[in-house]
């Protein structure tokens, strides 16, 4: 059965440079792949310095780009951008306004930031090809409260209305909290440290931030300078999603689905597992909730590496697509892991009823395989197809990690057959670009 609608999903795009004049056969092949899809998606992992100006809100890991990078993304073939991420507020509210202005001028389907919280949480909706497509994009942090959009509010003092607090442009936030569960010995040590420094409620109030933990009611919990530690038989970290925030996001998905749109749900977060390639349990739970609410595809970025794929109720879930573009300044040398520079382009085919028919996986390497052996990270500008040998290795690893999520894959000569109890006929294949890439090396 032939696809009537295609969705191409890539890793995130941290882009500084204008790539429109890059001449590379492999990059041209990747562009052709992206341009053929009805919906071509990436996350804009930067903020635009435009007419609204702005100032850096952080020192290290600061990102901003000129609007010309959007022309580059358009030239590559992207028509859909998630804007919710940890760099969206790097120029403050002014950067959010400039990014919105420049993205809208180029007619991208976009979501994830806005002039206030209501605007930031809206689904971006656009007719792409013969389909109405909706994108719902959010960020789960961690990040300071000021990064996130807020609505205007009436200010009250001593039961009197004294004015209005203006709205704040920013990012659509999925509220989560972090709790560390520790054994009795560690819990006692933490409490002893606070007692040593005579920590008290007044002191904590002086340093309080808007997103600090709630008031505690159990003696088995301690607010240790802004982080909750809970006494437990074993040591582990848990991320809890705020129920009201969850339901707000799911309501947006339900509304878009009920209006007849093909819905793409997107999450960006930096609550990574120690092994970046592992999928946090709370992310899997959230992704499935989005599908239950009506999402036809789910994608996520944050950890800069490729993560597992799950097919849940016939819907593709890409837990982590790594990087598609990853432009770094000269001298930055902490991204030496080859996994940071390897990813896939996933092209999903659907029928007219939004049923998944196929997934085509194209393994890519940013900068090419020769660059993996040196540390000139700033020279790795564009992705190219992986050679057949590397493509096989990447897909074999992806198959192994996806088995944990009920996604049974069988790899044969750079070809992957995928199926599970809910979906038996879907084929997942390494793109022929991998074989073409091998022939050219």
Per DSSP, the residues of 298-316 read: EEEESSSSB--EEEETTEE
Evaluate whether 225 touches 213 at the Cβ level (below 8 Å).
no
Location of structure tokens 């996806």: 402
Q: pTM for the complete prediction?
A: 0.90
What is the per-residue pLDDT for 440? 40
Q: What is the mean pLDDT of the chain?
A: 89
Give me the pLDDT at residue 26, please: 94
Indicate the residue among 208, 240, 272 that finishes a domain: 240
51 and 174 within one domain: no
Residues 54 and 187 in one domain: no
Candidate ranges 95-104, 348-357, 372-381; pick with highest mean pLDDT: 95-104
User: Helix/strand/coil (H, E, C) string of 237-295?
Assistant: EEEEECHHHHHHHHHHHHHHHHCCCEEEEEEECCCCCCCCCCCCHHHHHHHHHHHHHCC
Indicate whether 213 and 81 sit together in one domain.
no
Phi, psi (5° rounding) for residue 94? Answer: -60, -40
Cis preceding-peptide flag for 322 (omega within 30 of 0) = no
204 vs 88: CA distance, rounded Å: 29
Residue 160 and residue 108 share a domain: no
Same domain, 133 and 165: no
For residues 286 and 216, which has the higher predicted lDDT (pLDDT)?
286
* Residue 333 pLDDT exceeds 70: no
Distance from C-alpha of 314 to C-alpha of 302, rounded to nearest angstrom: 24
Q: Are residues 408 and 289 in the same domain?
A: yes
Encode pLDDT of 288-321 as tens digits: 999 999 999 999 999 999 999 999 999 999 999 9
Looking at the chain, how many residues does it have?
441
The radius of gyration computed from the CA coordinates of the chain, to the nearest angstrom, equals 23
Residue 170 has pLDDT above 50, yes or no: yes
The band of 437, judged by pLDDT with boundaries at 50, 70 and 90, is very low
SS3 195: helix
Closest by CA position to 87, among listed 109, 61, 112, 110: 61
Secondary structure (3-state) at 376: coil
How far apart (Å, rounded) are the C-alpha atoms in residues 325 and 383? Answer: 7
Q: Name the DSSP letter for residue 123.
A: P
Query: What pLDDT shows up at residue 93?
Result: 97
pLDDT at 291: 98
CA-CA distance, 429 to 23, in Å (whole number)?
Answer: 27
- The contacts of residue 204 (CB under 8 Å, 6+ apart) are 212, 223, 225
Report pLDDT for 209. 65
Q: Quick one: 261 and 385 in the same domain? A: yes
Whether 325 has a pLDDT exceeding 60, the answer reads yes
Q: What is the pLDDT of residues 359-404, one digit of tens each?
A: 888 999 999 998 888 878 888 999 999 998 898 899 989 989 998 9
The CATH number assigned to the domain holding 124 equals 3.60.21.10
pLDDT-wise least confident of 29-38, 45-54, 62-71, 423-432: 423-432
Chain centroid to CA 433: 25
Domain boundary among 221, 240, 259: 240
pLDDT at 424: 39
Contacts of 313 (CB under 8 A, 6+ apart): 291, 292, 422
Q: What is the b/e burial string over 148-162, where b = at least 16 CB atoms within 10 angstroms of the residue's CB?
A: bbbeeeeeeeeeeee
pLDDT score of 421: 40
270 lies in which domain range?
5-146+249-439
Beta bridge partners of 40: 8
Q: How far is the C-alpha of 29 from the C-alpha of 59, rounded, in Å?
A: 37
Between vectors from CA 287 to CA 181 and to CA 210, what angle results, nearest 5°? Answer: 55
User: Which pLDDT score, from 0 to 100, does residue 201 have?
Assistant: 72
Question: What pLDDT is recorded for position 435?
Answer: 43
Point out the least confidently predicted range of 34-43, 54-63, 175-184.
54-63
Same domain, 131 and 156: no
292 shares a domain with 205: no
In percent, the amount of the chain with pLDDT more than 90 equals 68
Of 7-11, 165-169, 228-232, 332-336, give the lowest mean pLDDT range: 332-336
- C-alpha triplet 103, 271, 220: angle, nearest 5°: 140
Q: Is 391 helix (H, G, I), strand (E, B) or coil?
A: helix
Q: What is the pLDDT of residue 295?
A: 98
Q: Which of 206, 240, 274 is the last residue of a domain?
A: 240
Q: Beta partners for 188?
A: none
Tens of pLDDT along 177-217?
Answer: 888 999 999 999 999 998 898 887 777 667 666 666 666 77
Q: How far apart are CA 246 and CA 204, in angstroms?
A: 28
- Burial bucket for residue 238 (CB in 10 Å: 0-12, 13-18, 19+): middle
Instruction: Quickly state the pLDDT bin for 436 (edges 50, 70, 90).
Output: very low
- The reply to whether 253 and 206 lie within a common domain is no
More confident residue, 397 or 160: 397
Q: Are 283 and 140 in contact (CB under 8 A)?
A: no
Q: Are residues 37 and 118 in the same domain?
A: yes
Q: What is the pLDDT at residue 164? A: 82
Q: Write phi, then psi, for 109 (nearest 5 degrees).
A: -70, 130
- pLDDT of 331 > 70? The answer is no
Return d(Cα 287, Cα 179) in angstroms, integer: 21
Query: What pLDDT is stored for residue 334 in this prediction?
Result: 74
Residues 222-275 have pLDDT tens digits of 888 878 899 999 999 889 999 999 999 999 999 999 999 999 999 999 999 999
Q: Quote the pLDDT of residue 370.
A: 85
Least confident of 93-97, 168-172, 184-188, 199-203: 199-203
Contact 345, 9 (CB under 8 A): yes
Verify that 20 and 80 share a domain, yes or no.
yes
Domains of the chain: total: 2
Mean pLDDT, range 23-47, rounded to an integer? 96
DSSP 42-87: EEB-S-B--TT----S-STT---B-THHHHHHHHHT--EEE--STT
């Amino acid at each position: 059965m032939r696809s009537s609608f295609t969705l191409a999903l890539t890793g995130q795009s941290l882009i500084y440079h204008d790539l429109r004049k890059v001449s590379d056969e492999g990059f041209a092949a990747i562009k052709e792949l992206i341009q053929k899809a009805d919906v071509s998606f990436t996350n804009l992992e930067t903020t635009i310095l435009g007419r609204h100006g702005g100032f850096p809100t952080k020192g290290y890991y600061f990102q901003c780009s000129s609007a010309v990078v959007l022309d580059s993304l358009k030239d590559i073939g992207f028509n859909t951008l998630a804007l919710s991420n940890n760099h969206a507020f790097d120029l403050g509210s002014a950067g959010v306004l400039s990014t919105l202005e420049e993205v809208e001028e180029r007619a991208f389907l976009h979501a994830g930031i806005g002039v206030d919280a209501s605007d930031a949480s809206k689904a971006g909706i656009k007719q792409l090809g013969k389909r109405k497509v909706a994108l719902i994009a959010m960020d789960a942090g961690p990040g300071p409260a000021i990064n996130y959009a807020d609505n205007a509010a009436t200010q009250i003092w001593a039961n009197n209305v004294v004015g209005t607090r203006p709205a704040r442009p920013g990012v659509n936030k999925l509220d989560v909290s972090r709790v560390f569960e520790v054994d009795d010995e560690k819990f006692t040590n933490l409490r002893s440290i606070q007692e040593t420094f005579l920590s008290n409620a007044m002191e904590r109030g002086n340093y309080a931030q808007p997103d600090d933990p709630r008031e505690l009611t159990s003696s088995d919990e301690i607010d240790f300078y802004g982080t909750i530690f809970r006494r437990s038989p074993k040591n582990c970290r848990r991320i809890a999603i705020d129920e009201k925030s969850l339901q707000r996001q799911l309501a947006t998905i339900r509304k878009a689905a009920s209006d007849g749109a093909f819905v793409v749900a997107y999450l960006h977060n930096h609550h990574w597992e120690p092994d970046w390639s592992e999928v946090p349990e709370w992310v899997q739970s959230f992704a499935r909730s989005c599908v239950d609410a009506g999402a036809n595809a789910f994608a996520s970025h944050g950890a800069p590496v490729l993560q597992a794929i799950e097919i849940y109720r016939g819907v593709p879930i890409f837990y982590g697509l790594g990087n598609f573009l990853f432009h770094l300044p000269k001298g930055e040398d902490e991204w030496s892991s080859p996994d940071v520079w390897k990813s896939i382009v996933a092209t999903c085919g659907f029928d007219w009823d939004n049923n998944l028919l196929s997934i085509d996986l194209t393994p890519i390497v940013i900068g090419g395989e020769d660059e993996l052996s040196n540390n000139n990270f700033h020279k790795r500008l564009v992705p190219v197809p992986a050679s057949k040998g590397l493509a096989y290795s990447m897909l074999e690893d992806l198959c192994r990690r996806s088995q944990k999520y009920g996604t049974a894959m069988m790899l044969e000569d750079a070809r992957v057959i995928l199926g599970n109890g809910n979906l038996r006929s879907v084929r997942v294949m390494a793109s022929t670009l991998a074989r073409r890439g091998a022939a050219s090396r």
